[in-house]
Amino acid sequence: MFPLTLEIKSRILTMVRNYTGEYNNYQGTPAQRKRNDARKTARRKMVAAGAVKKGDKKDVHHKNGNPKDNSKKNLSVTNKRTNRSFPRTTRAGKK
């Protein structure tokens, strides 16, 4: 076991996340809440169609990347790993 130096301790303390601040600044904004509601609506739509069920470890994928577009042709079922990762450009944007 390595002793914790003052530098390591200060790095650990600065890495603590402020979840309340994150919610207030991003997740709690009206625009993000609408996008999240649209994602939930897409999931419910696919459950009703019988494509997914609770606990199946699948995600509902929006093919065009727009969570507000819940048309049948835009929705597909993928595994979580595929849906939550995508190729990036050198400037960290989607390819």
- Please name the residue that has the structure tokens 């890495």: 15
- Please name the residue that has the structure tokens 């402020």: 18
- Say what the pLDDT of residue 79 is: 93
What tokens does 5 get?
């130096």
| Residue 76, burial from CB neighbour count under 10 angstroms (0-12, 13-18, 19+) | middle
- Say what the pLDDT of residue 2 is: 66
Minimum mean pLDDT range among 1-5, 61-65, 88-92? 1-5
How far apart are the C-alpha atoms of 12 and 86, rounded to whole Å? 30
- pTM above threshold 0.75: no
Mean pLDDT on 65-91:
89
* Residue 37 half-sphere exposure toward CB, CA atoms < 13 A: 7
Spatial CB neighbours of 38, under 8 Å, sequence gap ≥ 6:
67, 68, 70
pLDDT tens readout for residues 53-72: 999 999 999 999 899 999 99
